[in-house]
């Protein structure tokens, strides 16, 4: 299962790198480098771990589901029917919850990208920040962004 996930992520990573290579320079001028890096690195880590876990769980879940249905039919066909009738409702509720939580996940990813972009810019421009005496302003901005990220979690 891990091999399938790794091959999938490899293919997606190649497509993203090809896309990044085709983007105009103004894209990179208008987006902090840390934000772009954060999105690429964090998203690939999330995709890879999700695929590895999901593929393994899928096989286990299918086998368990079939076994449970067989046992339920053996024990009580009426109870099996009652469960089968409530499953669509649980799928609808789960879908609604997933859609709502996706909004918060996107917001968190944007804040994480902004924070990483700030850190990257301050790290690469450390000499300039110190030369103009903006260390405290940079630290205050970092703390504000870090607090925003913590609140979104």
Domains along the chain with CATH numbers: 2-152 (1.20.1560.10)
pLDDT of residue 90: 93
d(CA 47, CA 79): 38
In the chain, DSSP finds a helix count (H) and a strand count (E) of 6, 0
Write the pLDDT tens digit of every residue in 82-140.
999 999 999 999 999 998 888 888 888 888 888 888 888 888 888 888 888 888 888 89
Question: What was the pLDDT predicted at 1?
Answer: 63
Q: Which residues of 57-80 are buried (b: 16+ CB within 10 A; e: fewer)?
A: eeeeeeeeeeeeeeebeeeeeeeb
Instruction: Give the SS3 label for residue 8.
Output: helix
* pLDDT of 35 above 90: no
Tokens of 66: 């079939």
* CA pair distance 64, 57, nearest whole angstrom: 10
């Amino acid at each position: 299962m891990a091999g399938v996930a790794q091959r999938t992520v490899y293919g997606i990573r190649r497509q993203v790198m090809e896309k990044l290579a085709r983007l105009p320079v103004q894209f990179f001028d208008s987006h902090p480098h840390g934000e772009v890096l954060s999105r690429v690195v964090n998203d690939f880590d999330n995709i890879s771990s999700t695929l590895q876990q999901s593929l393994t769980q899928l096989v286990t879940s299918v086998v368990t589901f079939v076994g449970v249905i067989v046992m339920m039919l053996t024990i009580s066909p009426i109870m099996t029917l009652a469960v089968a009738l409530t499953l669509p409702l649980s799928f609808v509720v789960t879908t609604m919850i997933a859609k709502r939580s996706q909004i918060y996940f996107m917001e968190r990813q944007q804040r994480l990208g902004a924070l990483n972009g700030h850190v990257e810019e301050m790290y690469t421009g450390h000499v300039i920040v110190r030369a103009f005496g903006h260390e405290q302003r940079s630290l205050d901005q970092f703390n504000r962004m870090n607090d925003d990220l913590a609140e979104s979690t």
